[in-house]
Amino acid sequence: MSDWLQHLPILPILVPMLTGTLLLLSSDSRHAPRIALSLLAVLFQLTVALALLAQADGQLASTWPTSIGVYALGGWAAPFGIVLVVDRLAAAMLLLTATLGLAALVYSIARWEKAGVHYLPLFQFLLMGLNGTFLTGDLFNLFVFFEVMLAASYGLALHGSGGPRVRAGLHYVAVNLLASLFFLIAAALIYGVTGTLNLAELPQRVAALNLGDRQLFDVAAAILGVVFLVKAGAWPLNFWLPAAYGNTVPPVGAIFAILTKVGVYALLRIGVLLQESGVAPAPFGGTWLFYCGLITMAIGTLGVLAAQKLDRLAAFLVVVSSGTLLTAFGFTGTLLTGPAIYYLISSVLGSGAFFMLVEMAERNRQQGADLLAISFEAFGMEKRHDSEHPDEMVGVAIPAAMAFLGLSFVSCVLLLTGLPPFSGFVGKFALLGASLASLPHAPLLHVGLFIAGLLLSGLAGLIALSRLGIRVFWDMQRQSPHLQWLEAGPVAALLVVCLWLALLPEAAMAYCAAASQSLYDIGAYIHSVVPQPPPPEIPQ
Amino acid sequence: MEAIFALAVGIMAGAGIYLILRPRTFQVIIGLSLLAYAVNLFIFAMGRLRHGAPPVIDPRLGSDPALYTDPLPQALVLTAIVIGFATTALFLVVLLASRGLNGTDHVDGREPEDE
């Protein structure tokens, strides 16, 4: 049994890879077995992620000496071989990926999977890339998994095809290819200067550098930081994001909600490693990141207010949540990290549910209805149904589908703008509390700006969502859309998870705090990955 | 050797960046390819430029590391070439799809109005 458990960390990568390959090889005509296989694979990943989370949290017996699991690929020890590292944060991200993946997959079975070819294999490869990114302990391996994830995401972004989608996809692919090239430059430069690509070995090598090499390393780290900021959708590197996310098919938009958080995760993971071992270069933390995040938040908020379509609004909400996270990580002190992880989980689940909900809500509406409605509003050309035919409006039965959509929409609004009783409120509340608690150390200006940004972005989201919500749901001329259980179920499930996170926040909050604590305990991380001091450098 | 190498990397990277900033999709893809070549050469150079040193252990030479060049950047560059090639091919498909669907090879999918 323990032999089997020992190989647990590799499964989140192997299972989607093998499933994806099998799906590629099987013919499209075997529809039911393909879907069953995809679902089974994602369910299995969910189970593995749960087991890893329990192991990292010490609830399940593991063979790991500490709370950090290290899996040596190929059996080579750390400085020479490539390792996978599971700690609390990585396990939480794995669980988040699997949960969101399951919801998006179930949703797409209903109709979207058939909108193009190779949806199911690409979906598995995307999950493989995501899981690999969260698990890897090696810089170049991080690049490889980023590429796996991006290559799959290029395919998924174009799923369903069509002019606007391909146009947005073109920008998305070009920007990310460029970012990948920068990633390669940074990784190569870091290897050239320090002689290692292992994340755990990096800090001590950096500390031993002389001044000239140190400056080169700082350049490399800055380039690396810029790459992660592109992925995270930070201003001014995020102009591709709203169009690309807003134009995808809904389940893809839902799973893309976690893609920006990959950038945030990498920034946090590597930033903390560098920060705790000395001075971290600018993009990895401090005042610079704080203001970058704050501007991202502001731009996202303006975008939310300006958006005239719900899917574009959802994309800007993703930008806002990225900005909030970057601001929190740029904050002085480490108090905000725990709540920020909680906020990350809640916002990813919320945005995922929202992307799927938007499409259901928009069904049966005429094209461009939002645009018309807003121009009517702006020019005071409101049509007055109610005064002309008051009697017809009384006692109209609400169809079940509309009731479900309305309720889910209100829940999503509450969740994404941070109002009770959903987890968005708990997350924002904890962030506000933590920022106030770090007051003596953090400048008052930062605390004030952070609180203002957080509250204003929530308010703007509420205004924009209510305005568009009124237009979408109080539309007299539309018929009630037909929903399938497969479509309504995932949205409801994600919302229930968020509600559960909010109603019983102690366990989740405690876990996030522990995750943040073990993240900052880089001594333990380095010690678990590289147990013995590395051999002395070979003179060149 | 270093100067020529650095010049080659610099010129290709410069040309690549110029082309990426151009408005036609074909220019962008050529720019991305040129930049990818520059980056691949750069990765290769990060293992230090050595002439005539093998990257794998040769029984006749013995096991003194000073006689060998660093094999890791060569492995990295192979991976980078494969990935870069695949993603560029994918970009080419997107480019063609965009040309077919939007009827123009402008990166924004429509011709600028002042032309």
pLDDT of residue B84: 87
Query: Which residue numbers of A have CB closer than 8 Å to B's CBs?
Result: 140, 144, 147, 150-151, 154-155, 158, 161-164, 166-167, 169-171, 173-174, 177-178, 180-181, 184-185, 187-189, 191-192, 197, 538-540
Which of A341-345, A378-382, B47-51, B73-77 shows the lowest mean pLDDT across its residues? A378-382
Taking CA–CA distances from A188, the nearest residue in chain B reads: B43
pLDDT per residue as tens digits for the range A444-481: 888 888 889 889 999 999 998 888 888 877 766 666 67
What's chain A's length in residues?
Answer: 540
CB contact under 8 A, B90 and A154: yes
Chain A contact present for B30, CB below 8 A: no
A113, A120 in Cβ contact below 8 A?
A: yes
User: Distance (Å, rounded) from C-alpha A247 to C-alpha A164?
Assistant: 7
User: Distance (Å, rounded) from C-alpha A353 to C-alpha A371?
Assistant: 24
Residue A229 in domain:
yes
CB contact under 8 A, A154 and B101: no
Shortest Cα distance, chain A CAs vs residue B71, angstroms: 12
Chain A contact present for B108, CB below 8 A: yes
Shortest Cα distance, chain A CAs vs residue B74, angstroms: 11
Nearest CA to A83 out of A101, A69, A104 is that of A69
Per CB-CB distance under 8 Å, the chain B contacts of A538 are 65-66
Whole-number CA gyration radius for chain B? 20
A382, A471 in Cβ contact below 8 A?
A: no
Chain A contact present for B101, CB below 8 A: yes
pLDDT per residue as tens digits for the range A37-62: 889 999 999 999 988 888 888 777 77
Q: Point out the residue among A140, A158, A539 whose CB comes nearest to the CB of B94.
A: A158
A316, A242 in Cβ contact below 8 A?
A: yes
% of chain A at pLDDT higher than 90? 17
Taking CA–CA distances from B34, the nearest residue in chain A reads: A181
Q: What angle do CA A272, A277, A281 make, to 5 degrees?
A: 65
Here the tokens at position A491 are 């949205």
pLDDT of residue A394: 47
Residue A70 forms beta bridges with which residues?
Answer: A85
pLDDT-derived band at A379 (thresholds 50, 70, 90) equals: low
Query: HSE on the CB side for A530, CA within 13 Å?
Result: 22
Q: Which of A76, A146, A173, A190 to mutate to test the interface with B (most CBs of B within 10 A)?
A: A173
CB contact under 8 A, B94 and A178: no
Shortest Cα distance, chain A CAs vs residue B43, angstroms: 5
DSSP assignment of A97-133 equals HHHHHHHHHHHHHHTGGGGSSSHHHHHHHHHHHHHHH
Q: Domain limits at A146?
A: 102-380+398-529
The mean pLDDT value of chain A amounts to 82
Give how many domains chain A has, as a whole number: 1
Mean of pLDDT values over A391-407: 66
Backbone angles phi, psi at A487, to 5 degrees: -90, -40
Q: Annotate A420-447 with three-state secondary structure.
A: CCCHHHHHHHHHHHHHHHCCCCCCHHHH
pLDDT-derived band at A376 (thresholds 50, 70, 90) equals: low
Residue A536 has pLDDT above 60, yes or no: no
Residue A107 in domain:
yes
Mean of pLDDT values over A342-352: 91
Shortest Cα distance, chain B CAs vs residue A147, angstroms: 7
Here the tokens at position A131 are 């899981």
Chain A contact present for B49, CB below 8 A: no
Q: Point out the residue among A177, A192, A538 whose CB comes nearest to the CB of B46.
A: A192
pLDDT of residue A134: 93
A516, A341 in Cβ contact below 8 A?
A: yes
CB contact under 8 A, B28 and A174: yes
The mean pLDDT value of chain B amounts to 87
Q: Point out the residue among A151, A164, A170 whose CB comes nearest to the CB of B87.
A: A151
Which of A167-171, A283-287, A501-505, B104-108 shows the lowest mean pLDDT across its residues? A283-287
pLDDT of residue A98: 93
Q: What angle do CA B89, B90, B91 make, to 5 degrees?
A: 90
A45, A36 in Cβ contact below 8 A?
A: no
pLDDT of residue A384: 47
User: What interface predicted TM-score (ipTM) does this complex get?
Assistant: 0.92
Q: What angle do CA A185, A244, A319 make, to 5 degrees?
A: 80
CB contact under 8 A, B109 and A191: no
Mean of pLDDT values over A111-133: 86
CB contact under 8 A, A147 and B48: no
User: Distance (Å, rounded) from C-alpha A332 to C-alpha A287?
Assistant: 8
DSSP assignment of A227-280 equals HHHHHHT-TTS-TTHHHHHHTS-HHHHHHHTTHHHHHHHHHHHHHHHHHHTSPP
Q: Which residue has the higher pLDDT, A6 or A370?
A: A6
Helix, strand, coil abundance in chain B, percent, nearest 5: 65, 0, 35
Shortest Cα distance, chain B CAs vs residue A85, angstroms: 21
Per CB-CB distance under 8 Å, the chain A contacts of B72 are 191, 197
pLDDT per residue as tens digits for the range A476-488: 666 667 777 777 8
A345, A88 in Cβ contact below 8 A?
A: no
Residue A28 in domain:
no
Shortest Cα distance, chain B CAs vs residue A415, angstroms: 35
Residue A201 has pLDDT above 70, yes or no: yes
DSSP state of A285: S
Which of A185-199, A201-215, A304-318, B100-114 shows the lowest mean pLDDT across its residues? B100-114
Residue A383 has pLDDT above 60, yes or no: no
Q: Point out the residue among B46, B84, B108 whose CB comes nearest to the CB of A188.
A: B46
Chain A contact present for B91, CB below 8 A: yes
User: Distance (Å, rounded) from C-alpha A48 to C-alpha A41?
Assistant: 10
CB contact under 8 A, B32 and A174: yes
Q: Which of A184, A197, A239 to mutate to test the interface with B (most CBs of B within 10 A)?
A: A184
User: Distance (Å, rounded) from C-alpha A37 to C-alpha A30?
Assistant: 11
Nearest CA to A330 out of A284, A299, A261, A295 is that of A284
CB contact under 8 A, A174 and B20: yes
CB contact under 8 A, B95 and A170: yes
* Residue A289 Cα distances to A235, A280, A283, angstroms: 11, 11, 6
Shortest Cα distance, chain A CAs vs residue B1, angstroms: 18
Residue A410 in domain:
yes
Taking CA–CA distances from A176, the nearest residue in chain B reads: B87
CB contact under 8 A, B94 and A169: yes
| Widest Cα–Cα separation across chain A | 91
Find out whether the peptide bond into A65 is cis, omega within 30 degrees of 0. Answer: no
Taking CA–CA distances from A158, the nearest residue in chain B reads: B94
Per CB-CB distance under 8 Å, the chain B contacts of A177 are 32, 87-88, 91
* Residue A213 Cα distances to A193, A217, B97, angstroms: 6, 6, 45
CA A414 to chain centre: 19
Chain A contact present for B48, CB below 8 A: yes
Here the tokens at position A108 are 């797409």
Instruction: Could you please state the CATH topology (level 3) that the domain comprising B2-102 is classified under.
Output: Helix Hairpins (1.10.287)
* Residue A389 Cα distances to A378, A385, A386, A396, angstroms: 24, 6, 6, 13
pLDDT of residue A250: 84
Q: Which residue has the higher pLDDT, A289 or A66?
A: A289
The contacts of residue A13 (CB under 8 Å, 6+ apart) are A84, A128, A131, A132, A135
Q: Point out the residue among A140, A163, A173 whose CB comes nearest to the CB of B76.
A: A140
Per CB-CB distance under 8 Å, the chain A contacts of B28 are 174
Q: Which residue has the higher pLDDT, A5 or A256?
A: A256
Whether the CA torsion A204, A207, A211, A215 is positive or negative: it is: positive
pLDDT of residue A101: 92
